[in-house]
Amino acid sequence: MPQFTAPLTDMRFLLNEVFCAPALWARLPALADTLDGQTAEAILDEAGKITGGLLAPLNRSGDEEGAQWEQGQVRTPSGFKEAYATYAEGGWVGLSGNSQYGGMGMPKMLAVFFEEMLYAANCSFALYSALSSGACLAIDAHASAELKNRYLPPMYEGRWAGSMCLTEAHAGTDLGLIRTRAQVQADGSYCISGSKIFITGGEQDLTENIIHLVLAKLPDAPAGPKGISLFLVPKRLVNGDGSLGETNAVSCGSIEHKMGIKASATCVMNFDGAQGWLIGEENKGLAAMFTMMNYERLSIGIQGLGCAEASYQSARAYARDRLQSRAPGGPIAANKIADPIIVHPDVRRMLLSMKAMTEGGRAFACYVGQQLDLAKFSDQADEQQRAALLVALLTPVAKAFFTDTGLDSCVLGQQVFGGHGYIREWGQEQLVRDVRIAQIYEGTNGIQALDLLGRKVLGNGGAALRVFTLEIEQFIQQSNSSYAVELTAAVQRLEGLSDWLMQHVGADANLVGSSCVEYLHVFGYVAYAYMWARMDQAANDNSPFQQAKHATAAFFFNRLLPRIESLDTSIRAGSKDLFRLNAEQF
C-alpha cells in the first residue's frame, strides 16, 4: 500500500531560505502579530500529521467505495464523515479565512503547502473543503455584511460547506448561455429555478448545511455574460437567530460516475423555486464569481502538484526496492541477485523529471502565494498593485502547467512501476485517474492558455509580462547565480516569442488559439527556471538535502529547460497547418 509523508523539509526550505517568509510576515501589519516562523512550522507539522495519518489511509478505500447516491441523498465513503469532523475541529477549513468571521487568517504562502498535502493524501476529500474555502472568499469579498455575518462563521467552522454552481448541460465555458433564472421577491430575496451539473460537493453527508453559490439571470438581464448575477442559496434555510430552518427547494438529482475522484460527489443540482440572496450587484455576478473561480484555479493547479508528489514518493520507494538486472557499469548490490532499478539510467531520468518538476512547481506555488499575500496584506499601494498584476498573469500558468505536468509525473511514476503500476493495489493507477480531471475542470487548460496569451500578455501589450521578466533580470544582475547564462537566454526567448506574437497576431485571427498552449508551457518552464535558480542559490550549506537541490537544478537546466526551443519553433510555424483540412477530412 502506498504511504504519503508530507515533504516538510522542502517546504521549510522554501519558506525560510528561498522566500524569507518570516521576514515578510513581520512587515505586513495584518500578520506581524499573529504569525512567525515557529508558528508556521508548527502548523505545517500538524498539517503533515493530519494529511498523512488521517486522510491518506482513506484514499484507496474511498476510491473503491465511492460516493453513493440514493433518493436525493449522498453518502460519502466509510470513514470520511468521522475524518471530516476531526479535520473541521482542527480549524483547517478556515486556515486562510478572514479572522473577523472565525477564520485563522493565515497567509496563502502557508496555505498552498497545506493544499498540496491535502491533494497528495486524498484528492476526493480535499475537494470538499476546497470548495468551501473558495465560496467563503467570494462571500467575504462581495456579499452584504448581513450575509457575511450569518454564513461565514459556520462555514469557517466546517459545520456548513460551500459549492459553486456554474455549469449547465448546454453551457460550460460559455456561461452567457445559462438558463437558470432568478425572480426578485417582495421580501428582497430571490426565487431561483434551474439545473446545474458537475457540482462538486453539491450534496454530501459531512456537514449540516451546504451554501450554494449559483449563477442565474434576472428577467430583464442583458444577453450574454453581462447579464449574469450571483446568488447565495442554502440547502437549509437559516433562521434569524442562526439556527437551521426548513429545507430549501434544492435537490440532488444524481451524481456522476467518473474516471477518478470517485469519493468526491459530483452532482446534478436542481433548484425548483429555491430561496436565495443576491451577492454583489445585479448583472455583475460573473465578476464576483471569478473571485471564487480564481481561488479554485490555483487550488486545482495544486491538485496536480499534490498528485505528482504522491506519485514521486511511491515511485522512489519502489525504485529503491525493486531488484531487476544489473547496472550498466557492473553490479551495485553485489550481494543480491540483481540491482535495485534506481541504478538504471531511464529510471533515474523518470524520477529526476518528476522531482525537478514537482519541486519547481512547489516553489512557484509558494511564489504565487507570496504575491497573493502582498496583494491582500501589504500597506504599500504600489506593492499591492504590482502583486495583483502578477497574480492575474500567473494564475492561468499555475493552473494549467501544474496540472499538465502533474499528469506527466503521475504517468512517469506509473511507468517506474512497470506492470505493477497498472495494478490497483499499488496506487499509481488511481493517481493517474484522479489527477486527470484537474486539466479539465475550473476552466480547461486550453482556456487557461487563451486567457494567458490573449488577455494577460497580448491584451496589455506585454506590460504584465514585463513586470515578471524584469524581476527575473534583476535577480540575475543582483545574484551570483550559477545559471545566469541559461536563465538569461530563457527569459530572452520568452520575451522574443511574445514580441513575435504581438507583431503577427493582427494578420492571423487563429494565431492566439493555435499557439497559446505551447506558449503557456514556454512560460511555465521559464518560471520554473527562475525558481530553480533561486533554490540553487539558497542551498548554501553542504547537507545532503541541499546537495540534492544543486544536482536537481542541474538536471532541470540541462535536460528539461531546453524543451522551450522546440515549443518556440512550433509556435512560429503559425496556424496555417491547423486549417489545411476541412471538417470532413478529419
Q: What does the radius of gyration of the chain's CA atoms come to, in whole angstroms?
A: 24
pLDDT in tens, 88-146: 999 999 999 999 999 999 999 999 999 999 999 999 999 999 999 999 999 999 999 99
In a domain, 554, yes or no: yes
Give me the percent of the chain exceeding a pLDDT of 70: 100
Decide if 356 contacts 408 (C-beta within 8 A). Answer: no
Residue 456 DSSP label: I
Q: Which residues pair with 216 in a beta bridge?
A: 229
Cα-based angle 216, 296, 428 (whole degrees, multiple of 5)? 125
What CATH number has the domain bearing residue 549?
Answer: 1.20.120
The amino acid occupying position 484 is A
Decide if 167 contacts 198 (C-beta within 8 A). Answer: yes
In a domain, 408, yes or no: no
The grid coordinates listed for 333 are: 548490490
In a domain, 268, yes or no: no
Cα-based angle 169, 171, 172 (whole degrees, multiple of 5)? 95
**What are the backbone dihedrals phi and psi of residue 74, each rounded to the nearest 5 degrees, phi first?**
-115, 130
Which helix (H) or strand (E) segment is 246 a member of?
A: strand 244-247
Sign, CA torsion 205/208/213/217: positive
Checking if the pLDDT of 2 tops 80, the result is no
Decide if 68 contacts 75 (C-beta within 8 A). Answer: yes
Mean pLDDT (whole number) for 360-377:
97
Residue 520 belongs to domain spanning: 444-577
Tell me how far apart the alpha carbons of residues 105 and 50 are, in angstroms, rounded to a whole number: 20
Which helix (H) or strand (E) segment is 98 a member of?
A: none
**Three-class DSSP category at 471:** helix
In a domain, 522, yes or no: yes
- Dihedral angle over CA of 123, 125, 129, 130, nearest 10: 10
User: 13-27, 193-207, 286-300: which has the minimum mean pLDDT?
Assistant: 286-300
Mean pLDDT (whole number) for 177-195:
97
Checking if the pLDDT of 309 tops 90, the result is yes
Indicate the pairing of strand 229-234 with strand 68-70.
unpaired
Euclidean distance between the first and final Cα of the chain, in Å? 44
Checking if the pLDDT of 184 tops 70, the result is yes
Instruction: Judge whether 146 counts as a catalytic residue.
Output: no
Decide if 233 contacts 193 (C-beta within 8 A). Answer: no
Indicate the pairing of strand 209-216 with strand 229-234.
antiparallel
Residue 13 DSSP label: I
When pLDDT is cut at 50, 70 and 90, the band that residue 336 belongs to is very high
| CA–CA distances in Å: residue 23 to residues 203, 239, 315 | 42, 45, 36
Decide if 393 contacts 465 (C-beta within 8 A). Answer: yes
Tell me how far apart the alpha carbons of residues 115 and 109 are, in angstroms, rounded to a whole number: 11
The grid coordinates listed for 465 are: 509580462
Buried b / exposed e along 157-169 (16+ C-beta atoms within 10 A) = bbbbbbbbbbbbe
Query: What's residue 292's pLDDT?
Result: 82
DSSP H helices in 105-194: 108-121, 123-142, 145-157
Checking if the pLDDT of 1 tops 70, the result is no
Checking if the pLDDT of 201 tops 90, the result is yes
When pLDDT is cut at 50, 70 and 90, the band that residue 244 belongs to is very high
pLDDT in tens, 493-539: 999 999 999 999 999 999 999 999 999 999 999 999 999 999 999 99
The total number of structural domains in the chain stands at: 1
Mean pLDDT (whole number) for 29-41:
94
In a domain, 463, yes or no: yes
Q: Which residues pair with 108 in a beta bridge?
A: none
User: Counting beta carbons within 10 angstroms of the beta carbon of residue 174, is it exposed (0 to 12), middle (13 to 18) or buried (19 or more)?
Assistant: exposed
The grid coordinates listed for 570 are: 512550433
Decide if 356 contacts 552 (C-beta within 8 A). Answer: yes
Indicate the pairing of strand 244-247 with strand 181-184.
unpaired
User: Counting beta carbons within 10 angstroms of the beta carbon of residue 42, is it exposed (0 to 12), middle (13 to 18) or buried (19 or more)?
Assistant: exposed
The amino acid occupying position 429 is E
Query: What's residue 125's pLDDT?
Result: 98
- What's the whole-number average pLDDT of the chain? 97
| CA–CA distances in Å: residue 134 to residues 50, 142, 395 | 21, 12, 15
Tell whether pTM > 0.95: yes
Mean pLDDT (whole number) for 528-556:
97
DSSP H helices in 417-541: 428-436, 445-450, 463-478, 484-504, 511-538
The residue annotated as part of the active site, out of 442, 471, 486, 518, is 442
pLDDT in tens, 438-493: 999 999 999 999 999 999 999 999 999 999 999 999 999 999 999 999 999 999 99
Decide if 289 contacts 164 (C-beta within 8 A). Answer: yes
DSSP 64-85: HH--EEETTEEEPPTTHHHHHH
Query: What's residue 355's pLDDT?
Result: 99
Query: What's residue 256's pLDDT?
Result: 98
